[in-house]
Chains A and B, each alone.
Chain A
Amino acid sequence: MTSITKPPVRHPGLRRNSIGLTARDYEGAMSTLCAGCGHDSVTAAIIQAAWELALPPHRVAKMSGIGCSSKTTAYFMKQAHGFNSVHGRMPSVASGANAANRELHYIGISGDGDSLSIGLGQLCHAIRRNVNLLYVIENNGVYGLTKGQFSASSDVGSKSKRGEPNVQPPIDPVQLALTLGATFVARSFSGDKAQLVPILKAAFEHTGLALVDVISPCVTFNDHDGSTKSYRYTREHTVELTSVDLVPLRREIGVPGGDEAVVSVTMHDGDVVRFRRTEDGYDPTDREQAIAHVRACQHRGEVATGILFIDESGHDMHEVNGTVAGALAELPFEALCPGSASLAELMAEFR
């Protein structure tokens, strides 16, 4: 009953990006997730975003923990580095890896169990340190790998597959990240790549931790009537607060003058994120307003999506700590390990 692997042949008209790769060159192993899993669509969106940004796959590090979500790092960019860590500990391992080699593109993939239950403290501290990392939460409101118990993101009243309602209040990673001072907070839906791909591109380009909460329905245990994380419910209750487009530096085009609805935010490396407000008066650079707005949406039973908050004036872990430029692996040995005399000198300072 094993499935065939995806045939290596590709469409003859497939386009190549600026480093000569097709989107198919960003693929990984064949998914063993359930057919129709939202996570596979997130994988496809990551592949599309990385291809559009022409990221060199071998300069990417894929970090994950445990869970259905954490399997997905195997399904894209087979040429990239990867670390599959202990349950909930991905943020720490990613922080360590990033400390040692700041030159790679880090993408951490986690789920609502891995990040909002066992690894909640880890998530909080990674946000606090502002590790330069694209942090994707594939959020399906259910523990799929253990057959469908409610997770920490299940909404009150959402029904399990057997019909029991959830009674405990959910942890919303978006509101959590906003209150903890995250500099890039977004929410999207696995079933809407037109929205998800530009968000992932902007998140890849953000310096600091970019949290992207992706509603990614569990087709096996949480896609029934009564679930608030099903394909149908999400589609019916999504409210897009901002519509985004990432304009890379090398092909920047002028924002049409006089378009009041467009807000441009220039990122550290010169790329520009352009927002088109779809909600009246929503300002994605105002943290207080973002918190209030997302909370109001939640009370109304709506799912607020888009890039909800962005702050390009923040400082990431390396800037705060004044670390050396470049990867430790590329430092000359004498600089990396200056010898016992230097150590003695340092110790003398503390006497």
Chain B
Amino acid sequence: MDCQYACPAHTNVPEYLRLIAQGRHDDSYLLNRESNVFPGILGRTCDRPCEPACRRGRVDGKPVAICRLKRVAADLRDDITDRLPVAPAVKNGKRVALVGCGPSSLTVANDLMPLGYDCVILEKLDRSGGLMRVNIPAFRLPASVLDEEIGYVLDMGVDIRYNTPVTSMKALLAEGYDAVYVGSGAPKGKELDIPGRDDPAIADRIHIGIDWLKSVHFGHIEKIESRVLIIGVGNTAMDCCRTSRRVGATDVKVIARRSRPYFKASPWELEDAEEEQVEIVENHVPKRFVIEGGQLKGMEFDVVRWTDQPGGRQKSDVLDTVVIPCDAVILAIGQDNAFPWIERDAGIAFDQWDVPVVDRATHMSSRAGVFFGGDAAFGPANIIWAVEHGHQAAISIHQYCQGLPVTDRPAFGMNLLSAKMGMHSWSYSNDYNPSPRAKMTHEELVKRFSDVAVEVELGFSPEQTAREVQRCLNCDIQTDFTAALCIECDACVDVCPVNCLTITKDGDEADLRGRLSAPAANLSQELYVSGALPQTRRVMVKDEDVCLHCGLCAERCPTAAWDMRKFELEIPYAFAAAGAAAHG
């Protein structure tokens, strides 16, 4: 299932979309929460790795609007607090310190609290959420959504200590915690070392993106000059340019070194920025700050052309040099990890780039009992990765605290169950909905620019939701073939609307691809080939590439050689042990 595979937390997308379709928003929300912990937050801000993977995109060009449907489940849910996990009355006596109150630490707490752990979160700011709160502007993610979902975790009895910066790892370790988890993010914005950067005359006109966003969040900055250049074209740059528009800038340009296909920002964030009259300038490499009379006048850029080089790299040729006038500059060219508070002799090995050595699977550092996750572990990624790191680290911490090897990971399980309910009747809606992808309605520009906290996306209407959930191709409902039952009547081959099926002589994959009912051009999609069929010893070949999972092959099969079966991935979580104990 491509969407679930692409999601770092392996959220069961088709199942939660079906629950929305049935109006079961609570169930959909809770299914989401199991894997991604923050459905309301992620339904607004996720990087959506699932959507480029969505197979609907292969059929009509646009994936299902998975992310915004997640928000629908969150927005329309009823009070679900009595269905949330709770911490047991009797604790297990283990104490875990979590550094930073961002998504990864909160996930660790979410997974460990039901097992009876005492979780202590040490947060340097006076509020929760980390980057989700101070870096993502409120017009994308309202504070109320954050408060509610973070509350679900903290209300299990987490010991949250605000205004408590950790300044020494050694001191923290000395406090005798059973495990320490570092989820402190990648808090240092990258610098741009070009002439003029260090001129004290213009220091107040040049900002570091993430710091500037944080200052706007806290109200330390309420205004910016009218002409602003944003250097960099990642998602932070998008937040910076759109926030600028709300605090006084009227002429905002985002400057990119490369051309559009190489931008780091998600396409939808670029669209949203352009809708707010932000200009995106491609192929401009910063050269120097133009300072006249102690005033910032603009920035000079090389205008370049990129050409492909052998070996996949590109080289740039300078075509021209231009000066773009501006009054302020925001640098949004990336983030670095920074651990000034971890003593280098604390038993935690650092690598050649001065970041801690962390195991990709267990999240444990070279010092047993100290774990890293989120951006702090492997550099800046996104919220959903931070959540997944939290789940994995929670498993490790639980293993570690029981004295078990952290490398012993619980296995994934899976289930495959027939979806057949009767004649032409399935436990899912198998008809194909030809609707185009729903378009999100946005707040009008004047209202948006009046206040940083006015949410831009208004959410899907009930009609949009009803159509959009039906665009899902139900990729978890697998076409399951039993060769021994086939009588080779061709009914499935004939009825398949997208020519997925072929009965032909066996051969190797390259040979088979040339002999199918329709061209099988997507080489990343393996062919499904059956064993020899009983009557002619030919084979059934399925090209999954554009299969609609409409189930017509199974409906037209006279011998039930084809069946539609629902695949379910059973994901191991640390908190599952609590359920087993309670029911055990």
Contacts and interface: CB of A to CB of B under 8 A. Distances in A.
Interface string B489-533: 111011101111000000000000000001101000000000000
Contacts of B550: 4, 7
B497 A193 contact: no
Q: Which of A13, A31, A223 has the most CB of B within 10 A?
A: A13
Interface string A166-202: 0000000000000000000000001101000000000
B536 interface: yes
Interface residues of B, number: 37
A192 to B, nearest CB: 9
B490 A9 contact: no
Contacts of B557: 35-36
Interface stretch (B22-30, B253-261, B430-438, B571-579): B430-438
Chain A interface mostly: loop
Interface string B544-567: 001010101001111100000000
A31 B499 CA distance: 17
Contact of B556 (A2, A12, A40): A40
Given A1-B423, A1-B425, A235-B535, A35 B546 contact: no
A34 interface: yes
A223 B487 contact: yes
B554 to A, nearest CB: 9
A7 B494 contact: no
B570 interface: no
A120 interface: no
Contact of B499 (A11, A36, A190, A191): A11
Contacts of A2: 424
Interface residues of A, number: 34
B548 A231 contact: no
A191 B494 CA distance: 11
A41 B518 contact: no
Nearest to B562: A35
Contacts of A219: 487, 489, 558
Interface in B449-492: 487-491
Interface string B398-421: 000000000000000000000000
A10 B498 contact: yes
Contacts of A31: 495
A8 B550 CA distance: 12
A239 to B, nearest CB: 16
Interface string A31-59: 10011111011011000000000000000
A6 interface: yes
B422 A1 contact: yes
Nearest to B433: A7
A113 interface: no
Contacts of A191: 488-490
Contacts of B521: 13
A43 to B, nearest CB: 7
A3 interface: yes
B540 to A, nearest CB: 14
A191 B552 CA distance: 19
Contacts of A4: 424, 430-432, 550, 552
Contact of A9 (B422, B497, B555, B556): B497
B502 to A, nearest CB: 11
Contacts of A12: 58-59, 546
Contact of B558 (A9, A10, A35): A35
18 contacts: A4-B424, A4-B430, A7-B431, A12-B546, A13-B521, A24-B497, A31-B495, A35-B556, A35-B558, A36-B557, A36-B558, A37-B491, A40-B556, A41-B489, A41-B491, A191-B490, A193-B490, A223-B487
Interface of B: 58-60, 422-425, 430-432, 434, 487-491, 493-495, 497-500, 518-519, 521, 535-536, 546, 548, 550, 552, 555-559
Given A11-B498, A191-B490, 20 more contacts: A1-B422, A3-B424, A4-B550, A9-B59, A9-B434, A9-B548, A10-B497, A11-B518, A13-B519, A35-B491, A35-B557, A36-B556, A41-B494, A43-B494, A190-B490, A219-B487, A219-B489, A223-B487, A231-B488, A235-B535
